[in-house]
Amino acid sequence: MAAVYTALATATGEGRNGHTRTSDGSIDLDLKVPAEMGGPGGGANPEQLFAAGYAACFHGALKMVAGKQEVAFTDSAVTAEVGIGPNDAGGFGLEVTLHVELGGIDQSAAEALVEAAHQVCPYSNATRGNIPVTLEVETA
């Protein structure tokens, strides 16, 4: 693969209780372990950043696939739910549920479009076979 863009972010501090910043400064924020995981909460965490990135990327893939297939829909939204928990190896693992909302399209066409987007989205390709990803599609 020949990269057409490379993002650069640096994390500093105490690991999950630290700071992260992108090279261009567009992201510059403190990181805090969520209270649910025994941390102080009150700051962003890697799971939120992953969820935001996956949701945005999948939404872009959805729009791209729809354009190529000439499939029209009205409103759309993608919400990524990223869960973290202990795995069998003594570490932690992730799981993702993508909630996709599409308006003005029937359920079967929406599901086909979401599945096609799941095949081209870079986040989906990176996670496939590594973590469970569930697709939920809702039409209005």
Token pair belonging to 39: 């941390």
Q: What string of pLDDT tens digits covers the 140 residues of the chain?
A: 899 999 999 999 998 899 999 999 999 999 999 999 999 999 999 999 999 999 999 999 999 999 999 999 999 999 999 999 999 999 999 999 999 999 999 999 999 999 999 999 999 999 999 999 999 999 98
Q: pLDDT at position 16, please?
A: 87
Other C-beta atoms closer than 10 Å to the C-beta of 1 total: 3
Q: What is the pTM of this model?
A: 0.95
C-alpha 140/C-alpha 132 separation (Å) is 26
CA dihedral 38, 35, 96, 10 (to 10 degrees): -90
Handedness of CA 90, 36, 43, 83 (dihedral sign): positive
Q: Are residues 25 and 63 in the same domain?
A: no
Q: Are residues 79 and 116 in the same domain?
A: yes
CATH code of the domain containing 95 = 3.30.300.20
Does 71 lie in the same domain as 130?
Answer: yes
Same domain? 77 vs 67? yes
Strands (E), the chain: 9-14, 17-22, 28-31, 76-86, 92-102, 133-139
Whether residues 39 and 50 share a domain: the answer is no
Same domain for 69 and 84? yes
**Given this model, what pLDDT does residue 15 score?**
81
Residues 29 and 63 in one domain: no
As for how many domains the chain has, the answer is: 2
Reference 85, options 74, 95, 96; nearest CA is: 95
The domain of 32 spans 1-44
Residues 97 and 118 in one domain: yes
Gap between the Cα atoms of 23 and 101, Å rounded:
33
35 and 66, same domain (yes or no): no
